[in-house]
Each structure stands twice: as structure tokens, then as C-alpha cells.
Amino acid sequence: MDSRRSSRALIDPKVRQVGFFTNAPLPPDRTQSDPPDPIHSTPLADASSPGNFLSPVMIPPPRHPSSSLLPRLPHSPSDAFPPPSPTTTTTTTSLGDFSDDVTAASSPPSAAAAAARVRGRGSSVKQQGAASSFPGGGFEVPPSVKAPSSVPASGLTTVSVVKLPPGISENAGGSVSVEVQSDRALNSKPLKEKTSKAERRAIQEAQRAAKAAAKAEGIKTPAATALANAKPTKSTRPSPQRNDSPVVVAASEKKGGDRSVEKDRKKDVPHPRMQYDDKSRVQKLKKRSVVKPTEARNRVELFRHLPQYEHGTQLPVLQSKFFQLDTLHPAVYKVGLQYLSGDICGGNARCIAMLQAFQEAIRDYSTPPAKTLSRDLTAKISSYVSFLIDCRPLSVSMGNAIRFLKSQIAKIPISLSESEAKATLHSDIERFINEKIILADRVIVKHAVTKIRDGDVLLTYGSSSAVEMILQHAHELGKQFRVVIVDSRPKHEGKLLLRRLVRKGLSCTYTHINAISYIIHEVTRVFLGASSVLSNGTVCSRVGTACVAMVAYGFHIPVLVCCEAYKFHERVQLDSICSNELGVLLAGDPDSISKVPGREDINHLDGWDKSENLQLLNLIYDATPSDYVSLIITDYGMIPPTSVPVIVREYGRGQLWI
């Protein structure tokens, strides 16, 4: 492998000559004034030596495995995450105090409450305990509620409980025991052979409590008692018993339903480039989708294969579903909402937001009984991902990040304890963000700054985070240059970039894309960001980028694309029609086109979307052919677009993702 690489370095690169390369060498002091970066000084070392500029194809040796950087240390479980409380516990959960003041008031069912609590395995504790403390479902004000203090603390009294089937709900005393058992039967399945002493005791206590409750109520339920008697046998062979008790059936159905839903979601994660004109697949997708958007009335025929939805239908649906999406982690939900509403956009930001949400979700994750972490967590992540796809199609960067995360989950050795595994994943995600995005950006900045000379006029389009960092860093180095920001409707992302750059003291010019041919005469360099770079060198980026690149090419101005290597993809794409994204929120939003910001009086297009013959189309990306790109600056060096396959092959997939 080493020999191969060195030989390639010897060969004179068979790429187009990038003209400005032979320009005057950079003064070494400028480059040395970079902030010290001990880790990545290696690629820079040759850059700063004056006689030896960066060759167009400069593929540094693969960075040393990041173990030196962020060692994949097995966190001690206590510092990262608190160890999960043992599943069979006799301590009350934090919710136990809901029923505490009640049990003080009503003595006979307190044993039942305690028993239910002992048995408790997680979330149902509160309901069970509270339910059993009020056997009749009746209502009683605990005498201790009216505290005389200035801020009286009031107790809570459970007056109704959930999920009792109507047949048994009249005598809740019986149903408590039934529920206790049903949970018990389900929970004890994995360890049915051995019941620990504490558990047997819990069973006994629950039984006793149920009897006491039933007696206190004065109602004998034959079904309940029969079930209570049948319990010991049940824990050993649960299946036949479960079928004849309605409660258990309901419970198991519920559980099974959950599982199948999860499985469905896992299975049907839509293909990232699904063809939406395939009717059967779209039907399948619709069944599964959380956000059921209404399709646009006037769809553009040429783009039938892309999802075209009516404007503004998704957000309200997603909002009103807030409480239905119980399986979803709140952080993931929030990120999805932010994608959908356009609060977060931009490849890097979306990827970081997603990964951070996954970090939180993993932190709060606990493996359900009878499942292994790696399998269950993968399914969970898949369901999150399909939710995020519902909100907005994934970008290439996110796809790569998800693939990385899943491979990390799969790699976790089964011997690792849950908290250790979670800590490892946490640090893995952290490492991905740091290395693939933040450090990569830093390296890109280092490379790109060498291309900026005093007196340059740099043109950028839209708002790219990498380009912004380059401009700011070059400014900090004291280079004298001017920036032209080209922007376009409807999102006007360049405005924010303009505001930030001006605040830093850069001299900027702001113009719209229709003035590009006018302004291009002054420009000496074009810096562009990218959403993804495909293996034929095609650069996918914000719509309008291709236009800018082509104009620059026509005027013989070098076009430099800044893109982190984790956005590379081995796919080949020739145009921007076959795979693209339609602006979901803004696409069909006629207001974003018809309204002129700051001019309320211009309303010639009001109500134009009602027209039958009008088809609205708002593409988000376009594809810039590699001919128009002079250079791609990545964290592996500066490469011509024809060398993208090399990066994808050498660093992609297995090697690249650590």
C-alpha cells in the first residue's frame, strides 16, 4: 500500500494544469502564524516550507488512527452515565411518593401498593401502585393534603387508572392483581427458569395484597382469584394461560404491536433515492410515514420521481402528533421539527444536530429485557432515521454519518456492559464530529488559505460554513482581499453570511445571482461549498452553484470547491434531475416567491397558487459537472475533481470511517 502511494506521488499528475499553482510562493511567516495545531501539523509542514508547494494532487498518508487523538477509552461507567438501576429492586422509584401519602391514609391496600412497587419494572410502577391504593377506583381525599404552611403542598389522589378492560374495571381490586400478573408473565419470560427469592416473595406479596384488596372491596371476582391461583404455574409456562385472560391478551397484543411497528419502521427505511413515481412503493411508504403530507395538486411531470408535497401541510401534522410519537426520543423529535421548519439547514449543521440528538438518545437508552444492545439500538436508530427522512430527505453527509454510527454499534463486543457500550458510542460520535467535520474544516482552511493572495477578490455563493471559516481565517492572517457574496432567492442565505463577515471587518460586496456576469469581471477566485461530491467529480450543491461555476469557467477564473471528505459518495450522477430534493417547506410556498421582502405594497402575485395551470418547482440542489471545477479542497489535500474516486476508494467506507 505504501509503495503504491509513493509511486503515484512520483508520477506527474495527469490532471489539467491548474494555472495559479505556479504563482509566487507564499511567504513562510504568514503560514507559520497559524494557530499551533500539534495534531495536523504534518500536512502543513511541507506546505510551509517555501520551496515545496502543495502539488495539486497531494494525498497525505492516512491519518494515524485516531486512537492517539481521542483514545477509545473504556469509560468507567460512573463518570459518563450513571449505571442503570437494577431491574429487580425493592427500592421505590422516584414516582413512588405519589402514592405514599395516599397509602398513609388508607391502610388495607397499602400492602398491594407496596407489592406492586416491588414488582415494578420501570414505567408502570406509578400506575400500578396508585391503582392498587384505590381498589374501587373510588375517590378519597387524603386527610393530610391541607398543609397549613404558606405554600401548601398538596397531595395527589389517583382517581382513575388506565388500560383496564371494561369487563374488569368495575372491581379494580381484582384487576390489579390481574395486571400484576400479566406484566409478571411477560417480564419473567426470559428468566422463567429461575425466579430469585425476592421475586418469589414479590409474587406472594402481590397475591396476598390482591386477596386483601378483593376482600376489602367485598367483591369476589372468580376470574381474578382463579388467575391469582394459577399464577405460580403461569410463570413457568405462560402461553396457554395468557390466551384465556383478556387482560393478558390485550397486554401482549400491545407489546407485540409495538414490536411489529418498530420492525416495520426498521424494515421500510426508504431508499434514499426512491422513485416517487412508483405507485406501489409510494403506497407502502405512506402507510409507514409519520408525517402524512398531502401531495401537491399540480405536480411537475418531469420531477414526478421526487416527492412533491403541498406546502405547509407537514408541520401542523407533525406538531399535532407530538404525543403520539412516544417511541421517539424528544431530542430526535426536536431535530426533525427543526429540519422540517427550516430552522437548521446546511450539510454540516444538519449532520451535527442529528448526531448530537443521537448522542442524547443513546444516553437515555436502556436495553429492553431479552434483547441485545447492538440489535435493538440499531433498530431504534433506524426508526429515528426514517422519522428524520419523513421530515426532510437525508443528505449524503448524514447518510455517511449514519452508516458510521451503525457500524460502530455493530462492532460493539457483546461482552461490554451496557453503560460501557453507551459511553463508547458516545465518544465515537464525538470523535466523528470532531475529526470528520471540525478538524476536517480546520485542515481545509489551512489548505485553502494558501490560495488567497493579497489583492484577491473572492466570490462565494450562498452560505457555506467551510468557506466562511476560510475567509475569516485569511482575514485573521492579515491578508488583504475583498469578498463578493452572491445570493439568490428565496432563502437569502448569503445575507446572514454577509452580516457575519461584515461584523468581522471584511470588505464585502453583496449581489444577487442575476448580476453574476457583471460582477465576475472583478473576481479572481471563486470559493464554493458543496453538499456532496460524487465519484465522477460532480459537485452537488445549493441550486445556483453550477451557474456560478460555469460563468467563472467562461471567464477563466479558478473555481475551488471546499468539501469535507465525509461528504464524498461513490455514486455517479450526470444531472440534477434524477436525484434532487424539492424544497419541502419552501417549495410549494408561493409566498416565498411572490412576496418581496420589505415591499409590502408589491402584491401582483397574490393568490397565484390557486391557478390550475401553474406548477411550482423549487429544486434545492444542482449538479456542477467536474469540467467547471478547478480544484476540490478536502481534508486529504487539494485534489482535482478527477481524483475523487481515489479518495472514495482509499479512504471511503471501511477505512475512512475510522
Q: C-beta of 500: minimal distance to another protein in Å?
A: 7
Range 53-92, binding another protein (CB under 8 A): none
Nearer to another protein, 199 or 441 (CB): 441
Q: Residue 634: what are its φ and ψ, rounded to 5°?
A: -125, 180
How far is the C-alpha of 506 from the C-alpha of 482, rounded, in Å? 7
At 277, list the grid cell.
Answer: 413515481
Binding-residue total with another protein (CB under 8 A): 72
490 upstream amide cis, omega within 30 of 0: yes
Q: CB of 560 within 8 A of CB of 527?
A: yes
How far is the C-alpha of 460 from the C-alpha of 501, rounded, in Å? 12
Residues whose CB falls within 8 Å of the CB of residue 613, separated by 6 or more in sequence, listed in order: 298
Residues whose CB falls within 8 Å of the CB of residue 157, separated by 6 or more in sequence, listed in order: 102, 134, 139, 140, 141, 142, 145
At 638, list the grid cell.
Answer: 487539494
Range 186-245, binding another protein (CB under 8 A): none
Range 117-136, binding another protein (CB under 8 A): 126-127, 130, 134
Q: C-beta of 324: minimal distance to another protein in Å?
A: 5
Q: CB of 432 within 8 A of CB of 398?
A: no
Range 447-486, binding another protein (CB under 8 A): 463, 465, 468
Nearer to another protein, 374 or 465 (CB): 465
Q: C-beta of 137: minimal distance to another protein in Å?
A: 5
Q: Of the candidates 441, 487, 564, 635, which one interacts with another protein according to CB under 8 A? A: 441
Piece of 137-145, 181-189, 509-517, 608-616 that binds another protein (CB under 8 A): 137-145
At 560, list the grid cell.
Answer: 475551488
Q: C-beta of 373: minimal distance to another protein in Å?
A: 22
Nearer to another protein, 152 or 654 (CB): 152
Nearer to another protein, 158 or 195 (CB): 158
Q: C-beta of 377: minimal distance to another protein in Å?
A: 20
How far is the C-alpha of 562 from the C-alpha of 526, rounded, in Å? 10
The angle formed by the CA atoms of residues 148, 153 and 159, to the nearest 5 degrees, is 120
Q: CB of 230 within 8 A of CB of 241?
A: yes
Nearer to another protein, 162 or 414 (CB): 162
Range 141-160, binding another protein (CB under 8 A): 141, 145-146, 150-160
The one-letter amino acid code at 354 reads: M
At 162, list the grid cell.
Answer: 388506565
Q: C-beta of 81: minimal distance to another protein in Å?
A: 17
Range 525-564, binding another protein (CB under 8 A): none
Q: Of the candidates 38, 51, 166, 413, which one interacts with another protein according to CB under 8 A? A: 166
Q: C-beta of 189: minimal distance to another protein in Å?
A: 25
- Cβ density class 524-557: b for 16+ within 10 Å, e for less: bbbbbbbbbbbbbbbbbbbbbbbbbbbbbbeeeb
Q: C-beta of 93: minimal distance to another protein in Å?
A: 11
Q: C-beta of 356: minimal distance to another protein in Å?
A: 8
DSSP-derived letter for residue 87 is S
Range 306-365, binding another protein (CB under 8 A): 316, 318-326, 328, 330, 333-334, 337-338, 341, 343-346, 348-350, 352-353
Range 172-191, binding another protein (CB under 8 A): 172
Nearer to another protein, 326 or 601 (CB): 326
